[in-house]
Structure 1
Amino acid sequence: MKISTSSIELNTGIAKDKREKICNGLSSVLADSYYLMIKTHNYHWNVKGLNFRQIHLLTEEQYMELFGAIDNIAERIRALGFNAPGSVKEFDKLTSIKQGDGNLSAEEMLEDLLESHENLIRTARKALPAAADVSDEATVDLLTHRLDVHEKTAWMLRSMLEK
């Protein structure tokens, strides 16, 4: 292992270019997760109507889960040797999640959250092959868990919206 004054070379069995590709995908998952957390928190605060309590509690559970996930994703990027994006400017360039509107009806909020979770599922699915191709099981596990969480959440939201 070479130690220099600027950095210590990472040597974990995955080439730098492969790690960079993995981190690019993870950065998009991170940005989508961050924006979904903000949107979910917005809807938690601003939901109104007959289902207020149910949606208020559901969105609280969801934004708290997302908050923890964001930290795990960013730390995985760092463990792979790259800086995690951490500004709104950086996230704006990476996200597929549109900003939330606290003036929507409760049903529209649920529809928007469903669409956002499905966007995040697609983002995570796109990021998965880069990790799988180089046997980066830690990242595969992280992304598989995120897919499980978001697919279950999308199913619950879809079920709430079905007539």
Structure 2
Amino acid sequence: MADNSKKTCADALSKVLANAYVLYLKTHNYHWNVEGPNFRSLHLMFEEQYQEMWTALDEIAERIRALGEYAPGTYAKFAELATIKENQTIPAANDMLAELLADNEKIITIIVEAIKVAQDAGDESSVDLLIARQTAHQKAAWMMRSTLA
């Protein structure tokens, strides 16, 4: 793979990493602060999701490094690259669910864009990693959508 293709793939992965980190942090925050009659089930669901994302963050960052680029690793850089935004408030439980659902759907779109970049570059390793991330976020979105139904 050409050096410019590696950089293009690493840039796409960096956007995925930044958005995944913001979503991880938001999910962890909501895990800590959820209240209401569905507390236990939401507390556990959010925990499963943030733990799964935590492992994935490392895999994404290591793939960026394998492509010869530095992985973003500061809050400032994540804020610059991410379209998913923090919520400075603590919403009601169903609002948390709706927001996390929308954020998971947003990151799926970002991942699909990154998959296209990696496919165009012939970077099958990144494609494989990104498809796994897409599947994980689709599952999370399905669980939240089903909980809100």
What's the TM-score bracket when you normalise by the shorter of the two chains?
Answer: over 0.9
The reply to whether residue 55 of structure 1 matches residue 42 of structure 2 is yes
* Deviation for aligned residue 1:102: 4.9
Q: Deviations over 1:78-108 (max 9, x none)?
A: 0000000000111011101110345210000
Residue from 100, 104, 114 that aligns with 1:117 = 104
Q: Deviations over 1:9-58 (max 9, x none)?
A: xxxxx111111110111000000110001000000000000000000000
Higher mean Cα deviation, 131-140 or 78-87? 131-140
- Check whether the contact 1:20–1:82 (CA below 8 A) recurs between aligned residues: yes
Aligned to 2:93: 106
Aligned to 1:85: 72
- Gapped runs of 5+ residues in structure 1? 1-13
Residue from 24, 40, 64 that aligns with 1:37 = 24
* Deviation for aligned residue 1:135: 2.1
Consecutive aligned runs of 4 or more in structure 1 exceeding 4 Å deviation: none
Which whole-Å CA distance do the structure 2 matches of 1:158 and 1:100 have between them? 20
Aligned to 2:56: 69
Aligned to 1:10: none
Aligned to 1:15: 2
Which whole-Å CA distance do the structure 2 matches of 1:116 and 1:131 have between them? 22
Higher relative contact order (CA 8 A, sep 6+): 2
Equivalent pairs: percent with the same residue? 48
TM-score between the two structures when normalised by the length of structure 1: 0.89
- Gapped runs of 5+ residues in structure 2? none
- Structure 1 or 2, whichever has the larger Rg, is 1
